[in-house]
């Protein structure tokens, strides 16, 4: 019974962390109809920036890094994505090369194979339903779910939010009614960068900061996007919960190293039998 | 004899000349030839079917690991293990990728094939598979191959032999159907043919060469580890080689493989592996935008201007 409670508690917390890391990626995929593989690599860049800045700026480093990540993603969009956004294959291949390039730069700048630790904002742990959870993770979980619900509210009650939801359903139609797709993509890249910065702190703080840390989030981002459906924040919320619980369940009851295989397997099954995901547009 | 035949004979002469000139660095020449095998087999499926297959190392990994497992655990002779490895690699990789390519199209296929590598490499090193695969350490030592002149020449023959076969296949009836299917699968379907059947054959032929390369690479390095089989880095290097040389051309992929391996050889004394990777990725990135058809397009352009040169075939021009 304790194991089941453990899976539920950690599953919900991880779901929120994955949610804030993925929401930008998923909205970008929905808006542009392409996969930008560089975003998970930028998560690693954010985490390394936190390693460097946190001794000087303490907790403010998270704010600085989040804004910096927003600016980085915006610049990335402007320089690399915007000129070729009409060709999803080109974006896909180019961003893979860019992501590997970013990994190589980080491996040169920081010791390869070494895992850095981020000092926690909130030391210690709390007891949740008989399960000891680090305060830091609880904070991350709360921030994550608040961010997801806030985005859900904004997407339903503001024109910009409605535009973000409308564009994946029909880009041409959205342009016809006067929506500026490039402007909205830029906004989403900035917002996605901000959330990646916050995600980098909590995720990096939990697993440690290393050169390889971006690969697993890439699988998570893809799976959540596939399960949730492109451009659907409601879908992301359901999918993130499903993935969080599945991941902790696999790690607890089966084998930690099989988690990628099982999570990807779920994504493949969804792609085959329900390509539009839980609540979104059809992919591909 | 056809123009293609003489073209591949000329390519073979160039590759053998490289072997003769670089006798002191045969290990680099052999590595370059093995990467040429990988890049050409990847390019063959990806460029001509229209599917960007980023799970190509599944063939290499399955074949390499199968041969290593049979040799390491059962002590069977290496040649037999290599033959069985090719069968398992080709069959297993095809059985994994073919249904996915049938059911999932577009970018999702690329993403699934790409992430499959990550998942499989984790599976290989998992505690579950460790007794068989050796986990992170892998399987070593194996009864390997040595850097010898006959091996280098045999690899050049293998590359050119498959290059010629691939070119002939692309010009056959099946190849033409694949051509149509890439441009418009609906036309092929309306003619009563299943386009996936033909792209599936292309995948099988591509996987066959990749599996042969996989068993040879494992035997040559004397170890089966994730880094020389299922690694994401290996896949990206193959893609970068094809991009640099010309991913829409079989000879372009060979050129790219040789250039990247020799560039690594030149840089090795001066910079560490990550700087090498960074330089190679940067070159690939620049070429991808500046010259999307790769460096081979420079030679193609020059050859077409020769007075005696005929118009290149569709398969040679690629997409």
Residues 72-91 of B with CB under 8 A from A: none
Q: Which residues of B touch A277 (CB under 8 A)?
A: none
Place B306 in a pLDDT band, splitting at 50, 70 and 90. Answer: low
Cα(A220)–Cα(A226) distance, rounded to whole angstroms? 10
Min mean pLDDT across A82-96, A193-207, B6-20, B292-306 is at B292-306
B107–A284 C-beta distance less than 8 A: yes
Q: Which residues of A touch B278 (CB under 8 A)?
A: 101, 104-105, 108
* Alpha-carbon gap: B106 to the closest alpha carbon of chain A (Å): 5
What is the tens place of the pLDDT at every residue in A142-160? 888 888 888 888 888 888 8
A258–B123 C-beta distance less than 8 A: yes
Residue A126: CB atoms within 10 Å: 12
Q: Above 50 in pLDDT, residue B130?
A: yes
Q: Which residues of A touch B243 (CB under 8 A)?
A: 93
Cα(A197)–Cα(A212) distance, rounded to whole angstroms? 17
Place B18 in a pLDDT band, splitting at 50, 70 and 90. Answer: very high
Q: Which residues of A touch B108 (CB under 8 A)?
A: 226, 271, 275, 283-284
Please name which of B9, B61, B40 lies closest in space to residue B256, comparing C-alpha atoms: B40
What is the tens place of the pLDDT at every residue in A65-92? 999 999 999 999 999 888 888 888 888 8
CA dihedral B237→B242→B243→B245, nearest 10 degrees, is 120
Question: Which chain A residue has the Cα nearest residue B135?
Answer: A257
% residues pLDDT > 70 (chain B): 94
Is B112's Cβ below 8 Å from some Cβ in A?
yes
Q: Above 50 in pLDDT, residue A270?
A: yes
In chain A, where are the structural domains located? 2-273
pLDDT at position B318 is 44
* Alpha-carbon gap: B205 to the closest alpha carbon of chain A (Å): 24
DSSP class per residue in B40-93: HHHHHHHHHHS-----THHHHHHHHHHHHHHHHHH---HHHHHHHHHHHHHHHH
Is B236's Cβ below 8 Å from some Cβ in A?
yes
Q: Which residue has the tokens 């063939």?
A: B59
**Which of B115, B128, B243 comes nearest A219 by C-beta?**
B115
Which run of H or E residues covers position A127? strand A125-128
Which position has the higher pLDDT, B10 or A167? B10
Cα(B306)–Cα(B164) distance, rounded to whole angstroms? 23
Is B277's Cβ below 8 Å from some Cβ in A?
yes
Domain boundaries A2-273, CATH class: mainly alpha
Question: Which chain A residue has the Cα nearest residue B284?
Answer: A97
* Alpha-carbon gap: A70 to the closest alpha carbon of chain B (Å): 24
Is B110's Cβ below 8 Å from some Cβ in A?
yes
A112–B236 C-beta distance less than 8 A: no
Count Cβ atoms within 10 A of the Cβ of residue B222 and give its class: 0-12 exposed, 13-18 middle, 19 or more buried: middle
Whether the Cβ atoms of residue B85 and residue B63 lie closer than 8 Å to each other: yes
Helices then strands, counting H and E runs in chain A, come out as 11, 2
Q: What number is the average pLDDT over the span A14-41?
A: 84
pTM value?
Answer: 0.85
Please name which of A22, A12, A1 lies closest in space to residue A138, comparing C-alpha atoms: A12
User: Would the CA dihedral through A160, A284, B248, B37 be positive or negative?
Assistant: positive
What is the tens place of the pLDDT at every residue in B167-223? 999 988 888 888 888 888 888 888 888 888 888 999 999 999 999 999 999 999 999
In chain B, where are the structural domains located? 3-232
Q: Which residues of B touch A93 (CB under 8 A)?
A: 52, 239, 243, 288
Q: What number is the average pLDDT over the span A98-127?
A: 84
**Count of CB pairs separated by less than 8 Å, A with B:** 114
Place A139 in a pLDDT band, splitting at 50, 70 and 90. Answer: confident
pLDDT averaged over every residue in chain B: 87
Q: Tokens for A245?
A: 């619980």
Place A283 in a pLDDT band, splitting at 50, 70 and 90. Answer: very low
A94–B288 C-beta distance less than 8 A: yes
* Alpha-carbon gap: B96 to the closest alpha carbon of chain A (Å): 12
Please name which of B150, B309, B319 lies closest in space to residue B250, comparing C-alpha atoms: B319
Q: Above 90 in pLDDT, residue B304?
A: no
B294 torsion bin: left (phi>0), alpha (psi -120 to 50), beta (else)? left
What is the tens place of the pLDDT at every residue in B136-163? 888 888 887 887 889 999 999 999 999 9
């Amino acid at each position: 019974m304790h194991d089941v409670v453990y899976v539920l508690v950690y599953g919900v917390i991880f779901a929120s962390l994955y949610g804030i890391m993925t929401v930008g990626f998923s909205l970008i995929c929905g808006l542009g109809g392409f996969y930008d593989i560089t975003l998970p690599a930028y998560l690693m860049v954010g985490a390394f920036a936190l390693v460097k800045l946190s001794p000087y700026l303490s907790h403010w480093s998270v704010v600085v890094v989040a804004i910096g990540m927003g600016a980085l993603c915006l610049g990335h969009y402007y320089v690399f994505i915007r000129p070729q956004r009409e060709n999803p294959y080109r974006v896909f291949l180019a961003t893979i090369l860019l992501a590997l390039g970013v990994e190589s730069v980080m491996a040169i700048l920081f010791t390869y194979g070494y895992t850095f630790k981020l000092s926690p904002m909130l030391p210690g742990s709390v007891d949740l339903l008989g399960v000891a959870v680090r305060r830091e993770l609880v904070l991350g979980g709360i921030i994550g779910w608040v961010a997801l619900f806030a985005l859900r509210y904004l997407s339903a009650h503001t024109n910009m939010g409605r535009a973000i939801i409308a564009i994946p359903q029909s880009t041409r139609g959205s342009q016809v009614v006067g929506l500026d797709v490039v402007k909205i993509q830029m906004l989403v890249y900035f917002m996605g960068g901000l959330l990646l910065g916050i995600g980098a702190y909590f995720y990096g703080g939990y697993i440690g900061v290393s050169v390889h840390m971006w690969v697993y989030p890439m699988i998570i981002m893809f799976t959540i996007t596939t399960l949730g459906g492109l451009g659907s924040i409601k879908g992301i919320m359901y999918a993130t919960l499903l993935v969080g619980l599945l991941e902790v369940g696999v790690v607890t009851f089966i084998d930690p190293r099989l988690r990628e295989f099982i999570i990807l397997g779920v994504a493949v099954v969804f792609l085959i039998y329900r390509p539009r995901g839980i609540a979104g547009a059809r992919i591909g | 004899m056809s123009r293609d035949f003489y073209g591949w004979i000329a390519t073979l002469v160039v590759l053998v000349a490289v072997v003769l000139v670089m006798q002191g660095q045969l290990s680099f020449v052999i590595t370059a030839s093995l990467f040429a095998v990988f890049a050409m087999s990847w390019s063959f499926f990806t460029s001509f079917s229209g599917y960007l297959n980023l799970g190509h190392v599944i063939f290499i990994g399955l074949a390499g690991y199968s041969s290593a497992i049979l040799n390491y655990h059962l002590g069977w002779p290496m040649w037999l293990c290599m033959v069985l490895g090719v069968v398992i690699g080709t069959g297993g990789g095809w059985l994994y990728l073919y249904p996915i390519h049938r059911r999932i199209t577009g970018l999702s296929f690329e993403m699934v094939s790409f992430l499959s590598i990550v998942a499989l490499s984790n599976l290989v090193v998992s505690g579950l598979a460790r007794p068989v695969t050796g986990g992170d350490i892998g399987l070593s030592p194996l009864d390997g191959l040595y850097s010898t002149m006959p091996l280098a020449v045999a690899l050049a023959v293998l590359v050119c032999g498959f290059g010629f076969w691939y070119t002939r296949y692309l010009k056959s009836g099946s190849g033409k159907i694949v051509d149509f299917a890439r441009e418009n699968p609906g036309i092929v379907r309306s003619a009563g043919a299943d386009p996936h059947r033909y792209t599936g054959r292309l995948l099988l032929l591509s996987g066959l060469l990749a599996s042969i390369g996989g068993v040879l690479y494992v035997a040559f390095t004397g170890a089966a580890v994730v880094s020389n089989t299922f690694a994401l880095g290996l896949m990206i290097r193959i893609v970068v080689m094809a991009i640099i040389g010309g991913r829409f051309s079989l000879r372009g992929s060979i050129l790219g493989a040789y250039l990247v391996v020799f560039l690594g050889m030149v840089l090795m004394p001066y910079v560490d592996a990550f700087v090498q990777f960074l330089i190679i990725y940067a070159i690939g990135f620049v070429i991808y935008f500046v010259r999307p058809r790769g460096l081979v397009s420079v030679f193609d352009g020059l050859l077409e201007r020769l007075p005696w040169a005929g118009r290149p075939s569709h398969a040679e021009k690629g997409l």
